[in-house]
Structure 1
Amino acid sequence: MKNIIIGLVVVCLGGVAYLILNFFVFERQKPVFQSQSSLPTHWNLKDDLVLQFSDESGIRSYSVEILLDSQTLFSENEVVLNKPKKFGISLPKPLTELKDGTTLQYKICVSDWSNVNFFAGNTTCVDVSLIIDTSTPQIEILARSPKISRSGSAFVLFKVKDIALDSVILSNGKNEFRAFRHTFDDIVLPPDEAVFGAFIAWPLENVLFEGSINVVDKASNKSRILLNFPKNLSAPIRKSNIRLKPEFLESKLRTLLDQISDVQYDDFADDRERFLFINERARSKDLEQILEATTTTISNKSYISSGIVPFTPLKNAIVVGYFGDERSYYLNKDFVSAVYHMGLDLASVRNAPIFATNGGVVIMRQYLGLHGNTAIVYHGFGLSSLYAHMSDSTLKVGDEVKVGDIIGYTGSSGWAFGDHLHLEILVQGYAVSVQEWANPKWIEENINAVFEQARTRLLEQIAAKNKPK
């Protein structure tokens, strides 16, 4: 029995010794490189690039080698005595001046303090390719809208010169707008030049507008120029008071709340609470869904590559509600709520067909609590049109819409007082003055002329470049 106990003790001690030697002295886990996903492909030689490694036994040493066309430009080896478990290596910059576009190869090897491999430790090697890019992007405005008004929008086409662009963003001082590549069929530009276009909005809730174009390339070089539009500070705000009749609320609110799955008519104390829910909470939820559709599902494809026509989707229509109306609602002479009307209400005959006046693709087709049966068509350069309160529509998401196609039929679905079309124009989620987009003169001066002016400018530049000296 004594021998058995001694044997078990020896086995246990041997096992412990094996674990200690195997996991702490002779562990075979290589150092982990943790920066692969965040490494850039281009380097401006100004910012430090740091590679992070980790190892439980500690980092023992590292080596760095810079190669150009298989020739070594630089090498170094360092021992790390304090055995850090996490260690960052700052990539050395080349000592000689190199042209933009030059590709450097970095070979970095890191060893740990394990005693495996005859006490040399475990080693991880990483190869990194970096293209030198020290030049900031060059931005040139080719053409733009002549002015911008509060609650309105504008269009700009511009050229960017850079070997590796990353992001091209327009700003109004508060909100950002993505820019889109644009090509003219009869114009070929050098590989490092590209034309971009975008609509930019001055939302009604913004008091100020400070426009700019902001470009960042893959080497983190940045450029910014101002969009000095002449500005019209006045906004087309009209005030109206709407009296809510109890009999209308009784029928309309019950129908609406039945169509919203997470609430019931009897969940509210009275019609005032029910109306506030629809006019504020349901409206806010609608706007969230509209914003998501008009910012995340838009594509680089444009259906208005050379110009557009006014948005007049309803024939023989009369305007029954303007964009920018400040609507105050009263129940039994008591003020209940106030909101801005962010579209244009058009009425014709009951169930009148709604026609597409500009081509596009359907990016939303669903029932929204306040807007009712709704479709959103994306046209290009961040521009979308929204059609709400429809009685019916056969469209589905992904359908391409051509000029003259029927989008749907007018109705009174959602929070509507009668059969009509609620039309909105959205610039990357921000509702803008529909009156502008229905005006032929505004369309011609602010959109179509910009396409033609930009094209003419590019052709003049190409002709001047090719002119014999």
Structure 2
Amino acid sequence: MASSLRLDRSSRKQPFFLFVLLTLLLAAGVVALIILLEREKPQLEVAGQLELIGTRRQIDFVVADSKSGLRHVDVLIRQGDQLKVLFEQNFTRQGHFRAAGPGRVAGQVTIDTNALGLQDGAAEIVFTAQDFSYWNLLRGNIVQSVFPVKLDTQPPRVTRMDSPQYIKPGGAGLVLYTISEPVVRHGVSVGGYFHPGFPVAGKKELFGATIGLPFDTVQIKDAQVEAVDAAGNIGRAPFGMLLKKANFKSDRIPVPDSFLDLKIPEFSQYYPEMTGSPLDKYLYINNQVRIANNRKIAEVCGRSVPEQLWQGRFERMARSSTRAGYADHRTYYYNDQEIDKQVHLGIDLASTQRAKVEAANRGKVVFAEYLGIYGNMVILDHGLGIFSLYSHLSGIEVAVGDLLEKGGVLGTTGTTGMAGGDHLHFAMLVNGVLVNPIEWWDESWVQLHILNYLK
């Protein structure tokens, strides 16, 4: 009797277990189908705007699929009956569920219209991506993005109207030119250094660029006006200039222990990473800190307002004597041993202690704080790529954004930074290039080489 009861209970449990097992298998099958038949399409990202394509254009793109993974990616360009493959990549299945293919593919295509035999006019760039899903009768999810584009391989026509015939190392000048169509960037390149252009006030379709040569220029190479249109085509108008000789002074600078004792504590506050002896720290300041400071100045003076804020010559500090000149080649000595060489790219002017420092011309304050070897420093943007710099100040009386008139007080002379005595270090820059201030103090030079061009 007991045996019969046990058998009866066992027979009643079997259908229940079978039901549970079937339910689990069905659930597992549903989950597997959901994974295998996932319907999420690959995602495509294309860098930049594609409406206009010039003679040669590189396009970066990323395709991603976070579920089944990517099976195929291709990029084509289509124009009329022509179909050119720019990119194609196929992947081998690595599994049957998630991540059967890569989850992300980053690619780059180059469209060289001449090499591809394409003509100016309408075309289409087609991006296609396919994943490893079993959806769509095993073909997977497919995404296709079509970008209509216009091929434009004609560069803007650039005509140089005027430019300096002679120029010195550390010298400056103005180049005038016209452009046949609206462009996204234009200016003058000299020796690989680009000087941005600006519209000349009151002269329709006339543009200018102020240029400056570094002090160490020994030959003028590749001087040309450049204009880049929206499609990336570059129009160029080369021109020549004759390089005049410039003579720069050589100077011997002693570095006594008393100077190190005076200056190293100041720099230690701003550069705590310095190590070694006082002389080691001095050399670190005169080299690494100097390089970083000049890089910062070039960055600040790399962008100028395109309007002329200034008028006439730039003023020299009143009642001052010259203590050091532009491009003086300095050799530094410690205990009569040569320890360093540098070039002084400004003019040192000395007057009375804590003398008022006035703006050399009308301009906007774009820098007003402490900067390493320059100490307390102010930089004014005068527009058209022209800047003036005032350093070693004992005090700064302006803030970034202030507009100063010529003669407006911006601070007082001092000994901050790498200065042994009270003076003003004055410099002029053209688009970040430190040039000779003497030209800008000369009324006739400013009139002849700059203002006459802008009339």
TM bracket, shorter-chain basis: 0.7 to 0.9
- Shift in Å, 1:133: 2.3
Mapped contact 1:364–1:374 kept (Cα < 8 A): yes
Mapped contact 2:55–2:233 kept (Cα < 8 A): no
- Shift in Å, 1:388: 0.2
Q: Which residue of 1 aligns with 2:44?
A: 33
Q: Which residue of 2 aligns with 1:417?
A: 420
- Shift in Å, 1:203: 1.3
Cα distance change of structure 1 residues 310 and 107 upon mapping to structure 2, 3 Å threshold: same
Q: Which residue of 2 aligns with 1:192?
A: none
Cα distance change of structure 1 residues 217 and 61 upon mapping to structure 2, 3 Å threshold: closer
Cα distance change of structure 1 residues 375 and 109 upon mapping to structure 2, 3 Å threshold: same
Cα distance change of structure 1 residues 168 and 46 upon mapping to structure 2, 3 Å threshold: same
Cα distance change of structure 1 residues 124 and 317 upon mapping to structure 2, 3 Å threshold: same
Mapped contact 2:252–2:333 kept (Cα < 8 A): yes
Cα distance change of structure 1 residues 389 and 219 upon mapping to structure 2, 3 Å threshold: same
Q: Which residue of 1 aligns with 2:242?
A: 230
- Shift in Å, 1:82: 6.4
Q: Does 1:290 align with 2:294?
A: no
Q: Which amino acid aligns with 1:135?
A: Q
Q: Which residue of 1 aligns with 2:269?
A: 259
The C-alpha deviation readout for 1:163-209, integer Å capped at 9, x for no partner, is 5x2332532224x2241331423x444xxxxx432222321244332
Q: Which residue of 1 aligns with 2:179?
A: 160
Q: Does 1:133 align with 2:152?
A: yes
Counterpart selection for 1:171 from 189, 201, 222: 189
Mapped contact 1:61–1:111 kept (Cα < 8 A): no
1: CA distance, partners of 2:111 / 2:300: 42
Q: Does 1:268 align with 2:280?
A: no
Any stretches of 5+ residues in structure 1 without a counterpart? 67-72, 190-194, 453-469
1:241-390 matches, cutoff 5 A: 241-254=252-265, 256-263=266-273, 267-269=275-277, 271-295=278-302, 298-304=303-309, 308-390=311-393
Mapped contact 1:272–1:336 kept (Cα < 8 A): no
Q: Secondary structure at the match of 1:268?
A: coil
RMSD of aligned residue pairs (Cα, Å): 3.9
1: CA distance, partners of 2:421 / 2:25: 88
Q: Which amino acid aligns with 1:168?
A: H
Q: Which residue of 2 aligns with 1:221?
A: 233
1: CA distance, partners of 2:262 / 2:348: 22
- Shift in Å, 1:367: 0.8
2: CA distance, partners of 1:413 / 1:92: 55
Q: Does 1:204 align with 2:204?
A: no
Q: Secondary structure at the match of 1:349?
A: coil
Cα distance change of structure 1 residues 311 and 90 upon mapping to structure 2, 3 Å threshold: closer
Counterpart selection for 1:58 from 71, 77, 83: 71
2: CA distance, partners of 1:287 / 1:91: 39
Identity %: 24
2: CA distance, partners of 1:353 / 1:241: 29
1: CA distance, partners of 2:132 / 2:273: 63
- Shift in Å, 1:299: 4.2
1: CA distance, partners of 2:82 / 2:139: 20
1: CA distance, partners of 2:82 / 2:27: 43
Cα distance change of structure 1 residues 366 and 212 upon mapping to structure 2, 3 Å threshold: same
2: CA distance, partners of 1:250 / 1:352: 25
Cα distance change of structure 1 residues 116 and 314 upon mapping to structure 2, 3 Å threshold: same
Q: Which amino acid aligns with 2:214?
A: P
The C-alpha deviation readout for 1:102-154, integer Å capped at 9, x for no partner, is 76677877666645467775453535343342321111112222322122232
1:74-85 matches, cutoff 5 A: none
2: CA distance, partners of 1:60 / 1:244: 66
Cα distance change of structure 1 residues 225 and 88 upon mapping to structure 2, 3 Å threshold: closer
Q: Secondary structure at the match of 2:354?
A: coil
- Shift in Å, 1:371: 0.8
Mapped contact 1:43–1:130 kept (Cα < 8 A): yes
Q: Which amino acid aligns with 2:34?
A: N
- Shift in Å, 1:402: 2.1
Q: Which residue of 2 aligns with 1:23?
A: 35
2: CA distance, partners of 1:74 / 1:262: 67
Q: Report the number of matched residues.
A: 423
Q: Secondary structure at the match of 1:443?
A: helix
Counterpart selection for 2:198 from 167, 170, 181: 181
Mapped contact 1:351–1:410 kept (Cα < 8 A): yes
Cα distance change of structure 1 residues 51 and 316 upon mapping to structure 2, 3 Å threshold: closer
Cα distance change of structure 1 residues 74 and 22 upon mapping to structure 2, 3 Å threshold: farther
2: CA distance, partners of 1:107 / 1:273: 61
Q: Secondary structure at the match of 2:395?
A: coil
- Shift in Å, 1:387: 0.5
Cα distance change of structure 1 residues 103 and 408 upon mapping to structure 2, 3 Å threshold: farther
Mapped contact 2:157–2:235 kept (Cα < 8 A): yes
Q: Does 1:401 align with 2:404?
A: yes
Q: Which residue of 1 aligns with 2:250?
A: 239
Any stretches of 5+ residues in structure 2 without a counterpart? 1-12, 93-100
Q: Does 1:147 align with 2:166?
A: yes
Q: Secondary structure at the match of 1:389?
A: strand
1: CA distance, partners of 2:110 / 2:128: 13
Q: Which amino acid aligns with 2:390?
A: Y
Q: Which amino acid aligns with 1:268?
A: G
Q: Which amino acid aligns with 2:51?
A: T
Mapped contact 1:303–1:359 kept (Cα < 8 A): no
Q: Which amino acid aligns with 1:212?
A: Q
Q: Which amino acid aligns with 1:180?
A: G
Cα distance change of structure 1 residues 427 and 10 upon mapping to structure 2, 3 Å threshold: farther
Q: Which amino acid aligns with 1:224?
A: R
- Shift in Å, 1:45: 6.7
- Shift in Å, 1:422: 0.3
Mapped contact 1:52–1:89 kept (Cα < 8 A): no
Q: Secondary structure at the match of 2:314?
A: coil
Cα distance change of structure 1 residues 228 and 169 upon mapping to structure 2, 3 Å threshold: same
Cα distance change of structure 1 residues 275 and 122 upon mapping to structure 2, 3 Å threshold: closer
Q: Which residue of 2 aligns with 1:43?
A: 53
1: CA distance, partners of 2:90 / 2:282: 68
2: CA distance, partners of 1:373 / 1:3: 91
